[in-house]
Amino acid sequence: MPRISQRASAIFESPFRKYLPLAADAKARGVDVIHLNIGQPDFRMPEIDFSNLDFKDYIPYGHAEGEAALREAWCAYNRRFDIEIDPENLLITTGASEGILFALMAVADVGGEVIVPEPFYANYNGFAQMAGLVIKPIFSSITEGFAIPVKEEFEQAIGPRTKAILLSNPNNPSGKVYSRETLEDLASLARRHELFLIVDEAYSEFLYEGFDFFSALRLEDVDENVIVVDSVSKRFNGCGIRVGAIASRNEEIIEHIARFGRLRLSPPMLGQKIALAALSLDRDYHQPVVKEFASRRDLLLSRLSQLPDVIFHAPEGAFYMLVRLPIKDSEHFCAWLLTDFQYQGKTVMLSPGTGFYATLQKGTDEVRIAYILGKERLSSAMDCLEKALQVYPGLKKTVSPAASTQP
């Protein structure tokens, strides 16, 4: 029997997948499972006339680099964020996911290292494994509001095999928004050590009061180092259209990423049509969406602050938060919520924190909440969490007063 490759057998499997059958079983028992485990909000897309896709009977390959009109529209849209980038420096990808994989494969060969502040988007692990790279995590702590560690910690982590720093801004899962100063510090590191700085800006549209988004494409004197990955999926709640972008003023890297793209011929054409329509709309789409997310966030903050021994940092952007609970094993807790718990016929599905850390033993007492449902559902979910923490058998023994690092 032929054997599969090591890279395939080693591939990171998202821990939450183990819970899908448990959730199905709970539903089969009649339990109402409130899904706060995935990043797919319940908002409508902008109103787009799907009947007017202008493919009447023929859907050809598009340009490997993406359709010219979409690349231009994306660049024009970027000006709203004070980003000046030329269409030839921005390629359309099949979702931001493809952009991450292409970027990793273009910046490092097998055995190369990428520094990633943790917690980080769990699938970075898998993409790094596909590309044969090693993620070197730099720990950022919930108790310090996920502030990016000082330069010295990065300097220590940078070795001869280090090729890039990768992060998402705003951060999934922490909701942290990195300041201009933080990004400038990273840029100077990247410049000094000749590293790429890959920033996943998929959530740039989702920012709460008091926080500004500063794109890595606005950094000065690091044009050769900066690669930005972007997405229409999150921006317009069109997760299934699979359209993202990758941008860099480093022409060599863009040309070589384009070569990866040419192998797969073209990004999805129907999705690109929709993305073009969405990016050409007024920005008004996001104001009510962000307002609603803010009010959901505030509901969570209010409920969580009433729970003993719960630590959290108020999200500054995106629609996720990591919460430290007085539990010993978040994977067990998330499973237990589905297998052994219900409150008034309901339970809540969360993501265990462990999936967002590369360092062992980190995240074992944290869960990620994606506040992608309306306040009524969120409120029920918080009822469940509150009750669960009263009866869960795997609680930590020590009990201290409630704490938070709300801004």
Q: Using alpha carbons, select from 142, 295, 81 the residue that is nearest to residue 208.
A: 295
- For a second copy, the binding residue among 18, 44, 79, 396 (CB under 8 A) is 44
List the structure tokens of 172. Answer: 């999934």
Query: Binding of a second copy at residue 190 (CB under 8 A)?
Result: yes
Residues in the chain: 407
Contact region for a second copy (CB under 8 A) — 68-76, 101-109, 327-335, 397-405? 101-109
Query: Binding of a second copy at residue 256 (CB under 8 A)?
Result: yes
Residue 346, strand partner residues: 32, 343
Q: What are phi and psi of 112, to 5 degrees?
A: -70, 160
- For a second copy, the binding residue among 37, 78, 97, 342 (CB under 8 A) is 97
For the chain, report the end-to-end CA distance as a whole number of angstroms.
58
Contact region for a second copy (CB under 8 A) — 47-55, 70-78, 354-362, 383-391? 47-55
Nearer to a second copy, 82 or 255 (CB): 255
- For a second copy, the binding residue among 18, 21, 50, 192 (CB under 8 A) is 50
- For a second copy, the binding residue among 5, 210, 360, 399 (CB under 8 A) is 5
Which residues neighbour 31 within 8 Å (Cβ) at sequence distance 6 or greater? 342, 345, 346, 347
Residue 178 CB, nearest approach to a second copy (Å): 20
Query: Binding of a second copy at residue 195 (CB under 8 A)?
Result: yes
Query: Binding of a second copy at residue 168 (CB under 8 A)?
Result: no
Residue 90 CB, nearest approach to a second copy (Å): 18
Contact region for a second copy (CB under 8 A) — 123-131, 319-327, 341-349, 378-386? 123-131
- For a second copy, the binding residue among 170, 267, 315, 363 (CB under 8 A) is 267
Query: Binding of a second copy at residue 155 (CB under 8 A)?
Result: no
Residue 244 CB, nearest approach to a second copy (Å): 10
Q: Is residue 316 within 8 Å of residue 324, measured between CB atoms? A: no
Buried b (16+ CB within 10 A) or exposed e, 138-159: bebbbeebbbbeeeeebeebbe
Using CB under 8 A as the binding rule, the residues of this chain from 204 to 243 that contact a second copy are 224-225, 233, 237-242
Alpha carbons 122 and 129: distance in angstroms, whole number: 12
Q: Which amino acid is at 178?
A: Y
- For a second copy, the binding residue among 21, 25, 29, 59 (CB under 8 A) is 59
What DSSP line would sit under 35-93, residue for residue? Answer: E-SSS---PPPPP--GGG-S-SS------TT--HHHHHHHHHHHGGGT----GGGEEEE
Query: Binding of a second copy at residue 270 (CB under 8 A)?
Result: yes
Residue 118 CB, nearest approach to a second copy (Å): 18
